[in-house]
Amino acid sequence: MDTRQANLQRHRLRMTLLSVVNSLLQSIVIGLYAASGTISWGIAAFFAAASLGTTGLFAIGVAAGWLIRLGDAPLLQAQLAVNFIVQIVFLLVAPPLWMIFLGSTLITCTYAMVAFTPRQFTGLWLGYGVVTALALYAGHERFETPAPTPLNIAILWLFFFVGVRRLALTGAQFSRLREQLSEKNKQLTILLERNKELASHDELTGAFNRRQLMQLLVDERDRAGRTHESFSVAIFDLDHFKAINDRFGHAGGDAVLKRFCALTCEAMRSTDRFARYGGEEFVLLMPMTPSIETACQAAERIRRVVAGEDWRATLGQACTPVTVSAGVASWRPGESLEELLARADAALYEAKDQGRDRCVAAPPLQAVASAA
């Protein structure tokens, strides 16, 4: 039996034993009425045997695992049905206590609020009305009330005192259900936020992922088209990253990627957006950059920060310096995003060819067009 099934079994047994305790308390109340002479001891004993016997059988069935396949709702429905039948029978068998047994049926129905659906509860309500009406009609000529002696009044108080306890237990169960629901809602909110983040962010580095980058680029192009303000992109590539992976393993490579992203986020402008483009390639989106020189200055600031980092804290004492190369391009009206990224990528390869650890600006679109 797994943990979830074991917890469910313990909960069922606890609730079933609670019904045994409730039957015992009501049997004591009925016994006190027998002691006061309101009903015979035979009827009191008969009620105790019927009430404790039925609830006891359910407890034995749950404890032995015989009812393990029965769901919570069917088990509760069966217990409520049996208890309801017992109360109605003794409403007719012991006419002087008809109000006591009628009140017990009402308290019993409150347990249905915990597990019944609205449709089931409506059915219970209608069934309760029909059955109690028939029972009251069948026994109304014999109904009477106990004499208002101090003892009978005390017993009546005890019955309602015990009844309030049963109602309080139902309320406590509602409170626990609300707490569980609240906790599950909190967990669901956390999971939804996490899923939302994973849909737009790279799981390893926390930077935007490629899909989110393309959406950001589309939004920025549309904004630039409306405001006539240019924007730029810089494609970064960690130099000799394969050698880092080969020497320090993928764990070391992942640590370098995460540290590089952290350094970039500290060095870039608050308006910039940073995304993982693929592998060890990253893209910095720089809105409202009036010139390619401004964009190159932003990319160069990041390159210097990476080159000046003490990577021994990340890779250990035996590490070699980690550097990054970048290709920068500014968008011009009429240029597609694919063309913009291709120009930045070509500038990146130029930076690699020139010896790495540098930033290279892509030529303007007009110059490319005239050269063609």
Residue numbers annotated as active site:
280
| Residues whose CB falls within 8 Å of the CB of residue 240, separated by 6 or more in sequence, listed in order | 356
CB 139 within 8 A of CB 92: yes
53 exposure class (CB count in 10 Å sphere: 0-12, 13-18, 19+): exposed
- Count Cβ neighbours within 10 Å for each residue of 158-185 and write b for 16 or more, e otherwise: ebeebbeebeebbeebeeeeeeeeeeee
| 289 three-state secondary structure | coil
C-alpha–C-alpha distance, residues 156 and 159, integer Å: 5
Half-sphere exposure of 313 (CA within 13 A, CB side): 6
Residue position matching structure tokens 């192009």: 221
